[in-house]
Amino acid sequence: MTRYGLERLPGLPESVTICEVGPRDGLQNEPVPVDTGVKVEFIERLADAGHTVIEATSMVHPKWVPQLADAEQVLNRVDRRPGVRYPVLVPNMRGLERALGLGVTDIAVFASVTESFAKANLNRTVDESLEMFAPVIAKARESDVPVRGYLSMCWGDPWEGEVPADQVVRVATALISLGCTELSLGDTIGVATPGRVAALLRALTAAGVPIERIAVHFHDTYGQGLANTLVALQHGVTTVDTSAGGLGGCPYAKSATGNLATEDLIWQLDGLGVATGVDLAKLVEASVWMAEQLGRPSPSAVVRAFQSS
Ligand code: MG
């Protein structure tokens, strides 16, 4: 019998770091308040499954993101384990100071590459938002805290349509020069296709952005999340943002489908012999448990396949 073993395709890395965004990006738009205890248990279950980067919460004002109003309690209650990073989104200097006061050792800022989304989400122009982040990033770096810069709408924007690569390059190079240690390229409305992923990565590296600093954050709105990720890995990316069970969407995307599900990616990477350190069966258990808490099934194909087998 021919056994189709683990064939790593040309150009793929030996291992990939998953940045698990379920507890923050995944939950932030949940309309019904999720108990702090549920959030804490979710994070613990993700760490139990082997995740080493778990975006825990956000310091955004509760007026904007009521679901994450308990950021402080979540951070105080989570058993922050050695070897696991728990990045926290901070919107401004006050958010950074609160995060540092809570012993946070990894932060993220959330930028937009389009004027329309900067206006809608941050109520600022792109340049004004970069000016606002400059002292936040500088202060975090002074405290030796790594800063991830999210870039949203990297391939398309609901108001502006297709986003030109040079617009992304401009914001990416600005964030790197401000001190960001990592950039996460967000396909916020899920419109990217593999050729455009390759083109943007080439444009960024040609502009001097080191590929090691680039992470990708795909949404599965049009079913392209895995294909886009595979191409990014073949171009040298080794950090991928995904959400356990496919939790979360974008309030500006028409379809309910959102973040690429961590399970869907792990199934693919396990099959390709690319290590992630995450135990798929344990992760599925965590997502099934979370889906029960939220009262609706996970949209992840792999979670559903596990449940029906
Ligand atoms: Mg997302």
For residue 30, the CA-to-ligand 1 centroid distance in Å is: 13
180 has catalytic annotation: no
Q: Which of 35-49, 56-70, 245-259 has the highest mean pLDDT?
A: 35-49
Distance 240 CA to ligand 1 centre (A): 11
* Residue range 97-123, pLDDT digits in tens: 999 999 999 999 999 999 999 999 889
> Average pLDDT of 90-103?
97
Q: Is the pLDDT of residue 5 over 70?
A: no
- Band (pLDDT 50/70/90 cuts) for residue 225 is very high
Query: pLDDT tens-digit profile of 175-199?
Result: 999 999 999 999 999 999 999 999 9
Q: Could you tell me what percentage of the chain is helix, strand and coil, using 3-state DSSP and rounding each to the nearest 5?
A: 45, 15, 40
Question: Residue 256 pLDDT > 70, yes or no?
Answer: no
Tens of pLDDT, residue by residue over 126-161, are 999 999 999 999 999 999 999 999 999 999 999 999
Give me the chain's average pLDDT, please: 94
**Could you tell me the distance, in angstroms and rounded to a whole number, from the CA of residue 246 to the centre of ligand 1?**
10
Share of the chain above pLDDT 70, in %: 95
Q: Which of 19, 154, 180, 250 is catalytic?
A: 250
Residue 1 CA to ligand 1 center (angstroms) comes to: 42
Vertex 158 angle, CA 156 and 159, to 5° = 110
271-43-217 Cα angle (round to 5): 55
Q: In angstroms, what is the span from residue 24 Cα to ligand 1's centroid?
A: 9
Q: Identify the H or E element spanning 203.
A: helix 194-206
Q: Give the distance (Å) from ligand 1 centre to CA of residue 150.
A: 10
On the question of pLDDT at 1 being above 90, the answer is no
pLDDT of residue 105: 97
For residue 249, the model assigns a pLDDT of 67
What is residue 134's predicted lDDT score, i.e. its pLDDT?
98
- What mean pLDDT comes out for the span 262-281? 97
pLDDT in tens, 284-299: 999 999 999 999 899 9
Q: Quick one: what percent of the chain has pLDDT higher than 90?
A: 88
**Spatial contact of 86 and 106, defined as CB atoms under 8 Å apart:** yes
CATH number for domain 17-308, candidates 2.70.70.10, 3.20.20.70, 3.50.50.60, 3.40.50.1370:
3.20.20.70
Is pTM beyond 0.85 here? yes
Q: Which two tokens stand for residue 28?
A: 């932030």
Contact 238, 277 (CB under 8 A): no
pLDDT computed for residue 7 by the predictor: 73
Which contiguous run of DSSP H or E holds residue 108?
A: strand 107-112
> 190 alpha carbon to ligand 1 midpoint, in Å?
9
What is the rounded average pLDDT of the residues 51-76?
Answer: 95
Structure confidence at residue 251 as a pLDDT band (50, 70, 90)? low
pLDDT of residue 99: 98
Least confident residue range of 148-152, 205-209, 248-252: 248-252
Give yes or no for residue 253 having a pLDDT over 70.
Answer: no
Mean pLDDT of 196-210: 98
pLDDT at site 209: 98
Q: Is 60 exceeded by the pLDDT of residue 254?
A: no
Residue type, 214: I
Q: Which two tokens stand for residue 109?
A: 């800022």
Has residue 4 got a pLDDT over 80? Answer: no
CA of 258 from ligand 1 middle (Å) equals 7
Distance 187 CA to ligand 1 centre (A): 8
Distance CA(267)–CA(73), nearest Å, equals 33
**How far is ligand 1, taken at its centre, from the CA of residue 224, in Å?**
14
